[in-house]
A and B are shown apart, each in its own frame.
Chain A
Amino acid sequence: MAANNIAKTVGKLAIVAVGMFAFVFVVMVPLYNTLCDVLGLNGKYSGKQYEVVQANVDKGRSVTVQFVAANAEGMPWQFRPVEASIVIHPGAVNTIEFYAKNITGSDMVAQAVPSFVPSRSAQYFHKTECFCFRRQPLKAGEEATLPVQFIVDQDLPAEVTNITLSYTLFDVTAMDKASKGVANR
């Protein structure tokens, strides 16, 4: 009788323990990513392509967008924005370019990770085309200009007059090999 009750208690607790382990993977990680995405937290960018919606261009307002390029540790490529900054009007479609060159003697794959300052501007910064949506392979010695097409939302809070978009370039050659065939997130 007592042994039976003990087994019941242990069974329930074991389910809780296994459930909490699963909770980390199936709830916490997706929930965190979704929340960051929806709330525009952490300057985190969804990586999703923005569908262009016809909107009026707010000619009366100007916003300076600055571009910063950085290499993650161990990343030898040359990487820089072609223009350091541009002045845009909210609602207008803009295109700018980054320059990258693989200066090494071997083929490599890179992934650019964006970040915004101020971080809340992330949710008002819509990219219709970006090299950061996918991994960027470059052969040994190859160079490329990498376009970004974007629209700054008209709902951008009035006090934001300056947005800095920064890309950090990571070497994902090894990761790319390991996950070949697995769709990118």
Chain B
Amino acid sequence: MGEHHHGPAKGLTRWLYTTNHKDIGTLYLWFSFAMFILGGSFAMIIRAELFQPGLQLVHPEFFNQMTTMHGLVMVFGAIMPAFVGLANWMIPMMIGAPDMALPRMNNLSFWILPFAFAMLASTLFMQGGAPNFGWTFYAPLSTTYAPPSVTFFIFAIHIMGASSIMGSINIIATVVNLRAPGMTYMKMPLFVWTWFITAFLLVAVMPVLAGAVTMMLMDIHFGTSFFSAAGGGDPVLFQHVFWFFGHPEVYILILPGFGVVSQIIPTFARKPLFGYASMVYATASIAFLSFIVWAHHMYTVGLPVAGELFFMYATLLIAVPTGVKVFNWITTMFKGSMTFETPMLFSIAFVFLFTVGGLSGVMLAMAPVDFQYQDTYFVVAHFHYTMVAGAIFSLTAATYYWLPKWTGRMYSETMGKTHFWLSFFAFNLTFFPQHFVGLAGMPRRIPDYALQFADFNMVSSIGAFFYGSSQILFLFNVIRTIRSGRPITDPKVWEGAQGLEWTVATPAPYHTFTTPPEVK
């Protein structure tokens, strides 16, 4: 055994061979940012084509590839790895552990990801083009009528799934076994709790996704007929299997974000989180409910009335624990000594905009009205309010919040606030009008549209260009902080910050808590 307080190795091999949770967290975060830019550039192509009615820039076939790749890259490449990166960095520091429970598996679960996405991105250059069947890859569009590159897509999904399962097992093993003495479950920070529950969701449903794509693979290449009516299968079965994975998946994408804002709001309101225990139970309830609501994505496939009613009521029930959370965040801020640093601004925007997305979710949950909303831009507006203003805003907030702890340097507050206000306005400019065109009947995933939607689409596109370019400011601010930000040494960084991660030196040393702290 070497000596304990060595620093990181030098050069490229440091990153290739590293088993340090902070290094791996950093790798995940940079990788996910690169994917965010890639997926974002696909979105820019989509919005450029939709700037005006008619076909201007790209062929409809390529447009379909863009919508598909945008969804896949954002969900599996940007949001999920970014939260895993945060988990790697923060969970050991928050529970007083020296590292993740399985450091070598940690290295493996990161390093297979770039191969998965290289494989997925390479389909863009293949004969027949990239996957073009939407990120939900409904059969038979993704089997009988798919481009040949679908097989590469299937293996890419397998690798991403393996990476996520390993990452989640690692997180659960860490939380269960490596908590510092005195760190009971009900003392864990909310970010740890939400990730702990998310990890269970991942272990349960990523294998279901793997099963779904495996069935596709067998239908395409081995003559089975899981989803082919000709051989006695059923395309609707695909939708059931997919959404049995897909609905828990959307909570996988948002629950760690709930955790992030539950850390940030108390810090800048200078009050402890209101209703800690109810937050934990609400998160667990949401996770449980996510398994029994999947068919609300399928109201129009011809479910029996009893099924529609069951899935409608179960879905509406989710509004209760979610409401508890929103209530708690607002009550935490109530009568607090609030200051509005960049992380706080993003967190407040998260609470506000995620609630907007939640309310349009309640509208979509109602079976009778969903027949109108199904597959329109209203759905697009809804899930971007939850995924962008929810997941992405919370990730941005987390980056600003913990960046000084990671680097020992302060980011530029002016630039951060500029980034926030640009993002906030541009986001709403992009997605709010999509509610209107959706209600008026504009279908999603089309390269051309009826003339009456022209004005709102132009507004949407302008907003999207602003939103996209404001992320460059974010990247610049982060790089500037790392290279030449104002050095800080205060372990607490933020006046109101609570928790073990703020007791270690700033910047966080390469190894922390090699002897576990005592938690009172």
User: Hey, which bits of chain A sit against chain B, CB under 8 A?
Assistant: 2, 5-6, 9-10, 13-14, 16-21, 23-25, 28-29, 32-33, 36, 39, 41-44, 47, 72, 111, 113, 119, 168, 170-172, 174-175, 178-179, 184-185
A interface secondary structure, majority = helix
Q: What is the distance, in angstroms, from A124's C-beta to the closest C-beta of chain B?
A: 15
* Known A9-B172, A29-B226: A17·B207 in contact at CB below 8 Å: yes
B interface secondary structure, majority = helix
Evaluate contact between A24 and B212: CB separation under 8 angstroms.
Answer: yes
- How many B residues have CB within 8 A of the partner chain? 38
Q: List 15 A-B contacts (CB under 8 A).
A: A9-B176, A10-B169, A17-B165, A21-B208, A24-B207, A24-B208, A24-B215, A28-B240, A29-B237, A36-B234, A42-B234, A43-B302, A44-B234, A119-B302, A184-B232
Chain A contacts for B223, CB-based, 8 A: 174-175, 178-179
Chain B, 205-223, contact with A by CB distance < 8 Å: what is the 0/1 string? Answer: 1111011100100000011
B304 within 8 A of A: yes
Chain A contacts for B234, CB-based, 8 A: 32-33, 36, 42, 44
Chain B contacts for A42, CB-based, 8 A: 234, 236, 302
Evaluate contact between B173 and A20: CB separation under 8 angstroms.
Answer: no
Besides A21-B211, A170-B230, 15 other A-B contacts (C-beta < 8 A)? A10-B173, A16-B203, A28-B237, A28-B240, A28-B244, A32-B234, A33-B234, A41-B302, A44-B234, A47-B232, A170-B231, A175-B223, A175-B225, A175-B231, A185-B232
Specify the chain B residue showing the minimal Cβ separation from A179: B223
- Identify A13's interface contact among B172, B178, B244, B303, CB under 8 A: B172
Chain A contacts for B277, CB-based, 8 A: none
CA distance A16 to B173 in the complex (A): 14
Evaluate contact between B203 and A17: CB separation under 8 angstroms.
Answer: yes
Chain A contacts for B211, CB-based, 8 A: 20-21, 23-25, 28
Evaluate contact between A113 and B229: CB separation under 8 angstroms.
Answer: yes
Chain B contacts for A9, CB-based, 8 A: 101, 169, 172-173, 176-177
Evaluate contact between A13 and B229: CB separation under 8 angstroms.
Answer: no
* Known A13-B169, A17-B165, A18-B207: A113·B244 in contact at CB below 8 Å: no
Evaluate contact between B241 and A24: CB separation under 8 angstroms.
Answer: yes
Chain A contacts for B204, CB-based, 8 A: 16, 20
B380 within 8 A of A: no
Q: What is the distance, in angstroms, from A22's C-beta to the closest C-beta of chain B?
A: 8
Specify the chain B residue showing the minimal Cβ separation from A14: B169
CA distance A2 to B179 in the complex (A): 11
B102 within 8 A of A: yes
| Minimum-distance CB pairs A-B, first 9 | A24-B211, A170-B230, A178-B223, A21-B207, A20-B207, A9-B173, A13-B169, A185-B232, A113-B229
Evaluate contact between A32 and B207: CB separation under 8 angstroms.
Answer: no
Evaluate contact between B230 and A172: CB separation under 8 angstroms.
Answer: yes
Q: What is the distance, in angstroms, from B52's C-beta to the closest C-beta of chain A?
A: 33
Q: What is the distance, in angstroms, from A125's C-beta to the closest C-beta of chain B?
A: 17
Chain B contacts for A17, CB-based, 8 A: 165, 169, 203, 206-207
Specify the chain B residue showing the minimal Cβ separation from A182: B223
Chain B contacts for A47, CB-based, 8 A: 232
Chain A contacts for B177, CB-based, 8 A: 2, 5-6, 9
Chain B contacts for A18, CB-based, 8 A: 207
CA distance A168 to B169 in the complex (A): 46
Chain B contacts for A10, CB-based, 8 A: 101-102, 169, 173
Chain B contacts for A43, CB-based, 8 A: 302
Chain B contacts for A13, CB-based, 8 A: 168-169, 172-173, 203
Specify the chain B residue showing the minimal Cβ separation from A170: B230
Evaluate contact between B229 and A168: CB separation under 8 angstroms.
Answer: yes
Q: What is the distance, in angstroms, from B50's C-beta to the closest C-beta of chain A?
A: 29
Chain A contacts for B205, CB-based, 8 A: 20
CA distance A9 to B178 in the complex (A): 12
CA distance A36 to B301 in the complex (A): 13
Q: What is the distance, in angstroms, from B144's C-beta to the closest C-beta of chain A?
A: 8
Q: What is the distance, in angstroms, from A73's C-beta to the closest C-beta of chain B?
A: 8
Chain A contacts for B176, CB-based, 8 A: 5, 9
